Amino acid sequence: MYDHETYLSPLTWRYGSEEMRRLWSEEQKRLLWRRIWVSLAEAQADLGLVTLDQAADLRAHAADVDVDRAHEIEAIVKHDLMAEIKAFAEQCPVGGGIIHLGATSTDIEDNADALRTRDALELLLLRLRSLLSDLANQIEARADQGCMAYTHLQPAEPTTVGYRLSQYGIDLLTDLEELQRVCGQVRGKGIKGATGTSAAYTQLLSLPRAGERIAEARDLEARVMARLGLEAFPVATQTYPRKQDWLVLNALAGLAGSLYKFAFDLRILQAQPFGEWSEPFGRHQVGSSAMPFKRNPVNAENINSLARFVASLPRVAWDNAAHSLLERTLDDSGNRRLILPQAFLLCDELVNRAHPILRELVVRDAAVTGKMEVYGTFAATERLLMELAKAGADRQAMHEVIRQHSLTAWDIIQRDASEANPLPDLLASDSAVLDYLPAEQVRTLLDATGYVGDAPQRAREMAAQIRQAIGW
């Protein structure tokens, strides 16, 4: 039915893992539907509404999903869940007649969506913890390696490679915490019927004498949800509150945003004249069909491309939540078939793409050192300014002296990159500076190699914090 002569989503084969695709597959959805129907039947058997043999018959055939047969039936009845009921019933000669007793479609669909969402979050969290583990290793390994920091994409002051990597760590830790929180709070609709009032279940549980019941509808619900291992919203309409989808997609978009920044920074640092970092490049990898020498940051660019799409999805979920009129409209149904699997599959791809980049990140030490040699002197002027102030100089006056000499030196090296930076000579011969510090100390202070403050310590602390958070 589906082959390469028809449109296939790139998520079908190009992006996302097989594990995540299985979670959002048509077969897995129907397996979850059947699991819920079995749980409902078993809970109803507990209360004497159906027989144990009927419930057992459903359980015996719960794994016998036949998507093709269900699609044949759907072509006639024009209702996918009802088609699955009929396909399931055909397989269950004893219990087929009690499938879906008292239920509405979303009693099944929404609980299945909640289960699938939680499973997908757990898989993504596993992958994110692995990514963070490798990031912690990189932070620790490069905690002391000095490099230029850039503000406004211009040389600023030195930092360390490990400290820069720590910035991505703090973002991803925030994502980890949010995804864990959202995962822990995923709830199903429960078993509440067509408008959330449990009217059908209440009727089923009623005895002939008015006001007397075998059990309360919420007792039946509790039995079903306990079997599913899923907490239910205390109240619902025909569906669970669609704000849950919005919260989930926001958390996924947050993760996409963090990986977007890392990838974008990498693209900048791989570009010339930076040339300090690069993503790994395979021995047989082709960078360009036209230019054989090219080593393009294609994985980082792919992360940026896909992350932009993820960022757009919470808006659709917002509309679904805000436009869910009264007890329910169906205008969220079609797009939820798209946005939920797409968000998870794309985030799965983003993490999987980022992981080898971080694990095998190429840091070009010569380029890093070269940038420090060219621009570090300018950065170290702050260090000189602090010592001049400590020696009793007017901070504002010295700032202006240093500024003037820095601009002169900057113009010289920008005109001719082969020229040695004249700034140490200019400052070490300025009488206003020499009134407070000897020339040799001025030159020493302008060496920025170790001017990284407590960045190495903070980087190591960040690595330790990551390991504590992931429990690895």
Please indicate, yes or no, whether residues 47 and 157 belong to a single structural domain of this protein. no
Residue pair 257/142 in contact by the 8 Å Cβ criterion: no
* d(C-alpha 472, C-alpha 470), whole Å: 6
The pLDDT value given to residue 449: 83
Where residue 73 sits, what CATH number does that domain have?
1.10.275.10
Phi first, then psi: what are they for 363, rounded to 5°?
-110, 115
Please indicate, yes or no, whether residues 180 and 205 belong to a single structural domain of this protein. no
Give the range of the structural domain holding residue 421, as residue numbers without chain letter. Answer: 381-445
- Distance of alpha carbon 313 from the chain centroid: 13
How many separate domains does the chain show? 3
Please indicate, yes or no, whether residues 155 and 259 belong to a single structural domain of this protein. yes
Cβ partners under 8 Å of residue 4, min gap 6 = none
* d(C-alpha 307, C-alpha 263), whole Å: 10
Kind plus residue range of the DSSP H or E element containing 146: strand 146-151
Q: Flag whether 261 is in a domain.
A: yes
Please indicate, yes or no, whether residues 197 and 211 belong to a single structural domain of this protein. yes
Please indicate, yes or no, whether residues 96 and 119 belong to a single structural domain of this protein. no
* d(C-alpha 461, C-alpha 454), whole Å: 11
Q: Flag whether 332 is in a domain.
A: yes
Q: Flag whether 472 is in a domain.
A: no
- pLDDT by residue for the chain (472 residues), tens only, comes to 677 888 889 999 899 999 999 999 999 999 999 999 999 999 999 999 999 999 999 999 999 999 999 999 999 999 999 999 999 999 999 999 999 999 999 999 999 999 999 999 999 999 999 999 999 999 999 999 999 999 999 888 899 999 999 999 999 999 999 999 999 999 999 999 999 999 999 999 997 776 677 899 999 999 999 999 999 999 998 999 999 999 999 999 999 999 999 999 999 999 988 999 998 866 656 555 555 555 778 899 999 999 999 999 999 988 989 988 888 888 888 888 999 999 999 999 999 999 999 999 999 999 999 888 888 898 889 899 999 999 999 999 999 999 999 999 989 888 887 778 899 999 999 999 999 999 999 999 998 888 899 999 999 999 999 999 999 8
Please indicate, yes or no, whether residues 219 and 147 belong to a single structural domain of this protein. no
Query: Could you list the active site residues?
Result: 152, 288
The pLDDT value given to residue 315: 96
Q: Flag whether 466 is in a domain.
A: no
Q: Which of 331, 311, 307, 312 is nearest to 321 (CA)?
A: 331
Please indicate, yes or no, whether residues 413 and 326 belong to a single structural domain of this protein. no
Residue pair 115/228 in contact by the 8 Å Cβ criterion: yes
Please indicate, yes or no, whether residues 145 and 257 belong to a single structural domain of this protein. yes
The pLDDT value given to residue 331: 82
The pLDDT value given to residue 1: 63
Please indicate, yes or no, whether residues 183 and 256 belong to a single structural domain of this protein. yes
Q: Flag whether 459 is in a domain.
A: no
Where residue 321 sits, what CATH number does that domain have?
1.20.200.10
Where residue 438 sits, what CATH number does that domain have?
1.10.40
The pLDDT value given to residue 286: 54
Q: Flag whether 429 is in a domain.
A: yes
Please indicate, yes or no, whether residues 61 and 125 belong to a single structural domain of this protein. no
Q: Flag whether 295 is in a domain.
A: yes
The pLDDT value given to residue 87: 98
Please indicate, yes or no, whether residues 213 and 150 belong to a single structural domain of this protein. no
Please indicate, yes or no, whether residues 131 and 77 belong to a single structural domain of this protein. no
Cβ partners under 8 Å of residue 98, min gap 6 = 41, 44, 50, 54, 58
Q: Flag whether 296 is in a domain.
A: yes
The pLDDT value given to residue 290: 55
* d(C-alpha 59, C-alpha 223), whole Å: 16
**Half-sphere exposure for 92 (CA within 13 Å, toward CB):** 28
